[in-house]
């Protein structure tokens, strides 16, 4: 009874709240929305997408404009929002400050107005796909100025002129996204003359398409559907006259064409890192240069003027839900002078605004200050952002950039490390290393010269080679010690593999204990290489490593290779035993062991500019090790070149088959274990009377 009474009381309270909202709410505004309908995500230092502080919160939800399948909108002067009300063949001018309809333009030529753009001179450009025209109106009165229809240029005769979206640069040139046009954005002069296609998206091939290109006949290739690039979905021009575009890309297209910033020749000036999100339907650039894009399901992405994603937010996981802040189908977004984001839903026919939080305002302020060259002021604001979120990659990177411009290179390195930004870290480290060399190069050179001089004097004084003889005797005594001689035998294998493996085969040199030592040493080098490289090349952090896979894979492949090679060479009359193959491989990988230790150490003192030295060293060590092992297999098994190649090839095939069999066997055992566990649970449930 008490529980039922409590439920009735809760329902009564909710009903009272809803009644009050409907009774006292304004006719244009539904309600202020709770902050929990959207989530904000950003990249962490490992490159993973993680949830972060709320960047924007739902603010206003406007449903009483009488919209019918609206498709485009743009802000003009005085925060007037121009909405292309496509289904009603009109343009609605909505005042976002007073939340009232300021004007309605119902031009008789409108058939399907979709794209709108307002210039600084208050000229309203309307792209009408069904009318095959661009109409120019006065943005203040709606008075018709002129119209542009299909261009008469011979270069445009085979192209359908069906304008969907439009943008205008500072000279009055029009950039039009046409329906069904894959050649690029249509560019018209301010007089309507066709100037050419501006920019174009790239086509890519999926793995299946690459296989088709290899194995299909010419007739089959000709019968395929043409591969088309992603289509432009919108284009805009910022207050400096820079042109931006977004595209809807097919799945598997990672060309970086999702968001582009164009130069005058149409080339993309962003790096190919702009691949986040394949379905961008609209974009906007505010006065500060920040870029906003939106996907059809309502995910809103925010980028810096450099094309770096700051964060994205939305609630795309909660579609078809009548809650403010959620959408069914988004077609446009626009940003007011106050920084509010307005989003248009063409299925639910409403406007939704999002207001930036203090966290977002601080981030924008810090970036703006940095772009203005106020590095100290920018660092202060970044510190405030870090007080809100100590793990903010953007804040650490921004702080590092400010410190880098201030000359605080060591502090910048620490900030870039926390931010996971390797390019900037390399730049800061180059400065630190360069300063160290300038401060210590004289001491280093004098020390090296002193050592050479000391050695020369000692050689001159030791004419009777007393010291040299004593040193050589001590060295020989150590290297010939019974427990150390098999260990130092690896140097002989690396220098003279054929002779060394011949004596090892005769049991005259080397030992199983020495081979075990070098196997353990190789494993140690492998683990150090996996876990301890410099920040610039250590892409996976230790805490993210699955050591069961790392260690198990090492031992599993090593043992599998030895057993597989023994079984294969037994068939091909090989003379080596399992112990011989183990010693061959353990001694033979010694050059690679030294290489892994050396590369790991070298990775801590190089920048991105010297990465080729690291790669070359690793390649040389690997190639040298392979050649030593190749000669070892020839000598141990008494093979020629052809037999060695065949045995190693069959060994590799045998290993692949064994791995596949073991993988399927593990799946089968897991299924059997699950079946037994389910039976055991059923028996236990029946015995204990749970059913």
- C-alpha distance from residue 78 to each of 27, 73, 74, 157 (Å): 23, 15, 12, 40
Query: Tokens 């009377």 label which residue?
Result: 689
pLDDT digits (tens, 9 = 90+) for 59-112: 988 999 999 999 999 999 889 999 999 999 999 999 998 989 999 999 999 999
- Is the distance from CB of 237 to CB of 169 less than 8 angstroms? yes
Q: What is the pLDDT of residue 412?
A: 94
What angle, rounded to 10 degrees, do the helices at 422-461 and 393-406 form?
60
Question: Closest Cα to residue 36, out of 54, 51, 12?
Answer: 54
Give CA–CA dist 261/505, Å, rounded. 66
Check whether 12 has a pLDDT greater than 60.
no
- C-alpha distance from residue 566 to each of 574, 579, 649, 654 (Å): 8, 10, 13, 11
Q: Which of 242-246, 255-259, 266-270 has the highest mean pLDDT?
A: 242-246
pLDDT digits (tens, 9 = 90+) for 403-462: 999 999 999 999 999 998 899 999 999 999 999 999 998 898 999 999 989 888 877 776
Query: Tokens 């046009």 label which residue?
Result: 181
pTM above 0.85, yes or no: no
The DSSP string of 135-168 is: EEEETTT--EEEEE-S---GGGTTS---EEEEEE
- C-alpha distance from residue 209 to each of 255, 278, 451, 543 (Å): 16, 19, 63, 38
pLDDT confidence tier of residue 43, bands split at 50, 70 and 90: confident
pLDDT digits (tens, 9 = 90+) for 593-630: 999 999 999 999 999 999 999 999 999 999 999 999 99
The structural domains of the chain, ordered by start, are: 358-461 (1.25.40.10), 479-666 (no CATH)
The DSSP string of 306-341 is: TS-EEEEEE-TTS-S--STT--S-EEEEEE-TTS-E
Rounded to the nearest integer, the mean pLDDT of the chain is: 86
Query: Tokens 């079946």 label which residue?
Result: 675
Check whether 266 has a pLDDT greater than 80.
yes
Check whether 18 has a pLDDT greater than 50.
no
The whole-number average pLDDT for the span 517-541 is 94
Three-class SS state of 68: coil
- Length, in residues, of the chain: 691
Q: What is the pLDDT of residue 471?
A: 64
Give CA–CA dist 234/176, Å, rounded. 8
């Amino acid at each position: 009874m008490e529980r039922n009474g409590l439920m009735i009381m809760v329902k009564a309270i909710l009903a009272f709240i809803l009644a009050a909202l409907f009774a006292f709410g304004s006719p244009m505004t539904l309600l202020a929305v709770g902050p929990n309908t959207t989530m904000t995500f950003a990249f962490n230092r490992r490159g993973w997408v993680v949830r972060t502080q709320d960047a924007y919160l739902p603010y206003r939800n406007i449903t009483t404009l009488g919209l019918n399948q609206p498709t485009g909108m743009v802000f003009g002067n005085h925060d007037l929002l121009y909405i292309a009300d496509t289904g009603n063949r009109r343009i609605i001018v909505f005042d976002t400050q007073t939340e009232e309809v300021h004007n309605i333009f119902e031009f008789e030529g409108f058939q399907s107005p979709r794209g709108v753009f307002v210039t600084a001179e208050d000229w309203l450009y309307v792209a009408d796909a069904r009318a095959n025209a661009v109409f120019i109106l006065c943005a203040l009165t709606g008075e018709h100025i002129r119209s542009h229809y299909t261009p008469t240029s011979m270069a445009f005769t085979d192209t359908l002129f069906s304008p969907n979206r439009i943008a205008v640069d500072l000279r009055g040139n029009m950039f039009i996204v046409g329906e069904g046009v894959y050649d690029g954005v249509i560019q018209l002069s301010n007089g309507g003359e066709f100037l050419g296609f501006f920019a174009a998206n790239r086509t890519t091939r999926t793995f299946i398409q690459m296989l088709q290109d290899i194995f299909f006949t010419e007739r089959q290739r000709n019968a395929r559907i043409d591969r088309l690039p992603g289509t432009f979905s919108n284009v805009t021009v910022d207050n400096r006259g820079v042109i931006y575009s977004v595209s809807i890309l097919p799945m598997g297209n990672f060309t970086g064409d999702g968001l582009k910033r164009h130069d005058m020749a149409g080339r993309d000036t962003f790096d190919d890192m702009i691949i986040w999100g394949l379905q961008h339907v609209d974009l906007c650039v505010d006065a500060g240069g920040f870029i906003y894009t939106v996907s059809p399901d309502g995910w809103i992405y925010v980028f810096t003027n450099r094309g770096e994603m700051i964060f994205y937010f939305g609630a795309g996981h909660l579609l078809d839900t009548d809650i403010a802040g959620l959408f069914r189908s988004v077609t446009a977004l626009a940003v007011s002078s106050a920084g509010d984001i307005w989003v248009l839903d063409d299925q639910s026919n409403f406007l939704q605004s999002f207001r930036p939080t203090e966290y977002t305002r601080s981030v924008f302020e810090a970036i703006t200050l940095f772009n203005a060259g106020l590095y100290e002021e920018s660092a202060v604001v970044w510190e405030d952002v870090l007080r809100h979120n100590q793990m903010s990659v953007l804040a650490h990177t921004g702080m590092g950039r400010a410190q880098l411009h201030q000359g605080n290179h060591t502090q910048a390195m620490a900030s870039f490390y926390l931010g996971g930004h390797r390019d900037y870290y390399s730049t800061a480290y180059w400065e630190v290393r360069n300063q160290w060399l300038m401060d210590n190069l004289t001491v280093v050179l004098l020390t090296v010269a002193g050592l050479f001089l000391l050695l020369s004097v000692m050689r001159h004084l030791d004419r009777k080679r007393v010291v040299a003889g004593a040193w050589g005797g001590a060295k020989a005594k150590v290297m010939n010690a019974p427990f150390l001689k098999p260990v130092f035998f690896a140097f002989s294998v690396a220098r003279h593999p054929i002779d060394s493996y011949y004596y090892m085969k005769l049991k005259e040199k080397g030992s199983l204990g020495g081979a075990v030592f070098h196997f353990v040493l190789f494993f140690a080098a492998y683990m150090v290489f996996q876990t301890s490289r410099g920040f610039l090349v250590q892409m996976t952090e230790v805490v993210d490593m699955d050591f069961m896979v790392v260690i198990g894979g090492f031992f599993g492949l090593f043992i599998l290779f030895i057993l597989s090679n023994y079984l294969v060479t037994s068939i091909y009359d090989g003379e080596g035993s399992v112990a011989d193959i183990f010693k061959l491989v353990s001694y033979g990988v010694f050059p690679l062991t030294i290489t892994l230790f050396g590369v790991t150490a070298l990775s801590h003192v190089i920048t991105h500019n010297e990465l080729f030295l690291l790669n070359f060293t690793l390649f040389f060590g690997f190639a040298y090790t392979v050649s030593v092992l190749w000669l070892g297999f020839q000598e141990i098994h008494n093979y020629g070149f052809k037999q060695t190649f065949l045995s190693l090839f069959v060994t590799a095939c045998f290993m692949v088959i064994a791995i596949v069999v073991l993988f399927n066997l593990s799946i089968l055992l897991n299924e059997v274990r699950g079946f037994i566990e389910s039976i055991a649970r059923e028996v236990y449930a029946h015995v204990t009377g749970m059913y």
